[in-house]
Amino acid sequence: MKACLLAFPAKIETRPLRLTEVAAPVPSGNQVLVRVRACGVCRTDLHVVEGELEPRKSPVVPGHQVAGVVEANGPAATRFARGARVGVAWLHHTCGVCTYCRTGRENLCERAEFTGWTVDGGYAEYVVAPEDFVYALPEGFSDEHAAPLLCAGIIGFRTLRISGVAPGGSVAIYGFGAAAHVAIQVARHWGMAVYAFSREPRHRQLALDLGAVWAGGSDDATPREVDGALIFAPAGELVIAALRGLKRGGTVALGGIHMSPIPPIDYSLLYQERAIRSVANNTRADGEDFLRIAAEIPIHTEVREFGLDEANEALMALKSGGIRGAAVLRV
């Protein structure tokens, strides 16, 4: 099969992903073999490619927002029929027996495996995954529009929930990329007033198109205090800006897996029970809840498509802020 291999981390400008022929994976145990039709391009992929996430497998095939169909089942896999439309996301497998797994916090499992980082992912024609960690895709979404739901969507949804903003409240969103352009649709569905911050004019316009009551630059002050804030940009200094615009008792939820250092915080910004919370991965329950809500709304993902042979170009466009919405590889 064709796959984009990362032999070792390097700046994306050096085009480190190499499209090559490799042996197709064979499903074992309770795994399913998924024929990839589309794979979303995520900032986490960029962190893997450029080495900001410590290499865990080398070489590795990145990609963890897979929309495709079941091609074959391992001998113990019975959940999906051949030809079923499914999604493969970031969380590939957990141990199921640790304290975190047994208390509904499998996203914190210390032995977790992750698609496109510790195991090969979806920048390829085929991928394998345990059937229990594969999602049935809701009807009404094309493969290209479903792919970003599987990380940008799920993580955006979890970040919004962790912020604790109640329906009808107000929320600030910093960094208006793939996750934010899905999270705002959930927030608006829940009657929230959304204030969007982005350095890119095209992203600010997208926020307004999707129902933000205000959109400004990353350095602008919040027009009014908000109940919570979501940060998707990997810029630690935005934590300070978000705290300044937060009401008493509000939470700043950090939706990224990697972030630049957070500057020193004056205690007065945290006082009155303001909080900062990181979002680590997601649980399968997050994914199931989000996909159900995505179909109810329904969520519309704005995508820019690339070929599998253009994976380097897609990640470069993402890095430079050149993607309005989400980038997706057609496979």
**Which candidate, 16, 123, 148, 151, places its Cα nearest to that of 62?**
123
The CATH code of the domain that includes 72 is 3.90.180.10
Considering the domain architecture, whether residues 104 and 73 belong to the same structural domain is answered as: yes
pLDDT at 87: 98
In our burial notation (b when 16+ CB lie closer than 10 A, e otherwise), range 198-235 reads bebeebbbbbeebebebbbebeeebeeebbbbbbbbbb
pLDDT at 217: 95
pLDDT at 2: 98
pLDDT at 329: 98
What tens digit of pLDDT does each residue of 148-171 get? 999 999 999 999 999 999 999 999
Domain that holds residue 172: 153-278
pLDDT at 219: 86
Considering the domain architecture, whether residues 58 and 186 belong to the same structural domain is answered as: no
What is residue 200's three-state secondary structure? Answer: coil
Considering the domain architecture, whether residues 72 and 95 belong to the same structural domain is answered as: yes
Which residues are CB-neighbours of 285 under 8 A, at least 6 positions away? 104
Considering the domain architecture, whether residues 110 and 191 belong to the same structural domain is answered as: no
Q: Poorest-confidence range of 109-113, 215-219, 237-241, 276-280?
A: 215-219
Considering the domain architecture, whether residues 71 and 157 belong to the same structural domain is answered as: no
Considering the domain architecture, whether residues 179 and 255 belong to the same structural domain is answered as: yes
The CATH code of the domain that includes 246 is 3.40.50.720
Considering the domain architecture, whether residues 34 and 91 belong to the same structural domain is answered as: yes
Considering the domain architecture, whether residues 8 and 21 belong to the same structural domain is answered as: yes
Beta-ladder partners of 172: 195, 229
Considering the domain architecture, whether residues 262 and 176 belong to the same structural domain is answered as: yes
> How many domains is the chain partitioned into structurally?
2
Considering the domain architecture, whether residues 217 and 324 belong to the same structural domain is answered as: no
The DSSP symbol for 65 reads: -
What tens digit of pLDDT does each residue of 240-259 get? 999 999 999 999 999 999 99
Helix 201-209 to helix 178-189 angle (10° resolution) is 20
Considering the domain architecture, whether residues 297 and 196 belong to the same structural domain is answered as: no
Considering the domain architecture, whether residues 95 and 210 belong to the same structural domain is answered as: no
Q: Report the length, in residues, of the chain.
A: 331
Instruction: Examine residue 16 and say whether the peptide bond preceding it is cis (omega within 30 degrees of 0).
Output: no
